[in-house]
Amino acid sequence: MSIAIERVAKRFGSFVALDDVSLEVPDGTLLALLGPSGSGKTTLLRIIAGLEIADAGRVISDGQDITHQAARDRKVGFVFQHYALFRHMTVAENIAYGLEVRKAPRAEIRARVDEMLELIRLDFLKNRYPGQLSGGQRQRVALARALAAQPSVLLLDEPFGALDAKVRQELRKWIRRLHDEIHVTSIFVTHDQEEAFEVADRVVVMNHARIEQVGTPSEVYARPATAFVHQFLGNVSSFRGTVHGDRFQLDGTSSYFPVQERLANGPAVACVRHHDIKVHAQPNGHDAFPAVVRHVNTAGALIRCELERSADGSRLAAELCHEHGVPEGLHPGARVFVELTNVRVFADAAQ
């Protein structure tokens, strides 16, 4: 089932949760809604489910306007961060619930429950209560419960947020495989960029009640549309400067960088990923500006160093590989020269 969101808006009191949001979700997609807390992603998910009603705009499913349809009548499966399993019912009864309330025949219910239990590989827990299960098992049961009623769309709200790291990894792979098998249109909410990239076909980056960018994981990472997207995905340092035509001049230097898209002349922001910031001991003719090393952290896969620009005292960070050991002269207080590569320039939106 495909879903289309048209210009949906939602407020809670004076808090704007969604502001003119539009989105197309093709049938069979596994989509991630990615963003920081308060960005509106959970609200959007709940509006699709029918657990909230939009103040403005429409929700269309397979051509039908379901904006005002009750949750009960939409065939959605919803999985919550904290599972929301019915703790007074056994695992089997939980999974059967969606079918029981629709008064399906008993034989069909039993067959479907067994099918689901096999799918999630938890047949042996059939008659246990949720209180006796681990977090990962509970989440799988919650998924089975949602899928048992054969929903047209599967919605997951930070499904792995309450689990520890290892279990999270396993379940991510598992849900990817499940989707490949079942092909139900699925939308999940997360604030974890790694999770979105690993699991989803398409990623929607949201911030402050708006959609910043929609695309495949690689699109969004390599060609971020806004400064926010660039900063949100990966570690980034920002620099102020001015756009002149098709070039960007870094403030306080005479370095120029190409601008990827047409931007109006005037103030702009350049974002550079930390591993694209190179540190040199000598100027060497590159467009490098002087800085002082403030802190070096060699523990971990990369060498992280914090630098302070000599020109205006602003801070930035760089990540270097350990390949050739720690470069000489990289100690707190050392004077170095910083070269920026892979600079992406964006309009200066007030962040």
Partner 1 sequence: MASVNRQVLPGFALSLGYSVFYLSVLVLIPIAACFLKASTLSFDAFWHAVWTDRARAAYALTFGAAFIAASINAVMGLLIAWVLVRYPFPFKKLVDSLVDLPLALPTAVAGLVYSALYVPTGWLGQYLVPLGIQGAYTRLGIVLVLVFVGLPFVVRTVQPILEDLDPEMEDVSASLGATRWQTFRHVILPLLYPALVTGFGLAFARGVGEYGAVVFVSGNMPFRTEIAPILIVARLEEFAYSEATAIAVVLLVLSFASLVAINSIERFTTRHER
Partner 2 sequence: MSASAVPNGLRRAQADSVWVRRGLTIAALLVVGLLIVIPLVNVFAQALASGVVVYWNNLFGDHDTFESIKLTLIVAPTALALNVIFGIAAAWAIAKFTFPGRTLLTALIDLPFSVSPVVAGLIFVLIFGLQGYVGPFLRRDGYAAMPYLLAGLAAAISVLGYLALRPTHREARHRFWNYPWSTIVLGCALVFAIVLLPQLYLDVWPHGKSLKIIFATPGLILATAFITFPFVARELIPVMEAVGVEEELAAVSLGANGWQLFWQITVPNIKWGLIYGIILCNARAMGEFGAVYVVSGHIAGQTDTMPLRIEKLFQEYNLPGSFAVASLLTLVALATLLAKVALDRAEATRRRAAAEETTASAVETTS
CB of 237 to partner 1, least distance (A): 40
From the list partner 1, partner 2, none, partner contacted by residue 53 (C-beta under 5 to 8 A by kind): partner 2
From the list partner 2, partner 1, none, partner contacted by residue 82 (C-beta under 5 to 8 A by kind): partner 1
Residue in 9, 53, 162, 330 binding partner 2, rule: CB under 8 A: 53
From the list partner 1, partner 2, none, partner contacted by residue 276 (C-beta under 5 to 8 A by kind): none
Residue with smaller CB distance to partner 1, 160 or 228: 160
Q: Which residue has the tokens 């089932």?
A: 1
Sign of the alpha-carbon torsion through 308, 309, 314, 319: negative
Residue with smaller CB distance to partner 1, 16 or 51: 51
Residue in 23, 32, 35, 50 binding partner 1, rule: CB under 8 A: 50
CB atoms within 10 A of CB 319: 18
Site for partner 1 in 82-101 (CB under 8 A): 82, 84, 86-89, 97-98, 100-101
Residue with smaller CB distance to partner 1, 103 or 166: 103
**How are beta strands 266-273 and 277-280 bridged, if at all?**
unpaired
CB of 285 to partner 2, least distance (A): 44
From the list partner 1, partner 2, none, partner contacted by residue 315 (C-beta under 5 to 8 A by kind): none
Residue with smaller CB distance to partner 1, 146 or 340: 146
How far, in Å, CA of 222 to CA of 213, rounded?
12
**Site membership for partner 1, residue 77 (CB under 8 A):** yes
Residue with smaller CB distance to partner 1, 99 or 316: 99
Residue in 76, 92, 171, 272 binding partner 1, rule: CB under 8 A: 76
Residue in 19, 38, 129, 174 binding partner 1, rule: CB under 8 A: 129
**Site membership for partner 2, residue 71 (CB under 8 A):** yes
Residue in 7, 68, 183, 331 binding partner 2, rule: CB under 8 A: 68
**Site membership for partner 2, residue 50 (CB under 8 A):** yes
- Binding residues for partner 2, rule CB under 8 A, total 7
**Site membership for partner 1, residue 53 (CB under 8 A):** no
How far, in Å, CA of 145 to CA of 94, rounded?
6
Residue with smaller CB distance to partner 2, 50 or 159: 50
CB atoms within 10 A of CB 83: 23
The residues of the shown chain that bind partner 2, judged by CB under 8 A, are 50-53, 55, 68, 71
